[in-house]
Amino acid sequence: MAGEPQADCLFCKIAEGEVPATIVRETNTTVAFRDINPQAPTHVLVIPRVHYPDALSLAAAEPQVTADVLREAGEVAIQEKVDTTGYRIVFNTGPGAGQTVFHAHAHVLGGRDLQRLV
């Protein structure tokens, strides 16, 4: 069923505590944890507890949870003290954009000079 945990999904396992991660924040609907291969001094992933393969399918099915993910990304930036220097929230969507884990997630990147992409 839509949103149900997927047995073969790494981020469902992290959300359920079956795979360890360095968790920095948790809510009823979201989990935020450090990326295992950080691309910046602050590199945190914010995931919904429900399983959807990408941000758009999450937004279509669960707009409130999508808002929770975005708000938590901002809370991570404040907690990591990158809110004042600037940070980036990224949703890689599709293999061509570098998405490798097909459970919706926001990257929160900060703590270094981030080159403008667009």
Summarize as ranges the residues that interact with ligand 5GP (CB under 6 A).
10, 21, 33-37, 45, 92, 98-101
Tell me whether residue 45 or residue 73 sits nearer to ligand 5GP (CB atom). Answer: 45
Tell me whether residue 1 or residue 36 sits nearer to ligand 5GP (CB atom). Answer: 36
Task: Please report how close the Cβ of residue 53 comes to Zn ion at its closest, in angstroms.
Answer: 8
Q: What is the spatial distance between Cα 64 and Cα 24, in angstroms, rounded to a whole number? A: 21
- In sequence order, what E strands does the chain have? 23-26, 30-34, 42-48, 87-90, 106-110
Do the Cβ atoms of 92 and 98 come closer than 8 Å? yes
Task: Please report how close the Cβ of residue 39 comes to ligand 5GP at its closest, in angstroms.
Answer: 7
> Which residues are identified as catalytic?
105
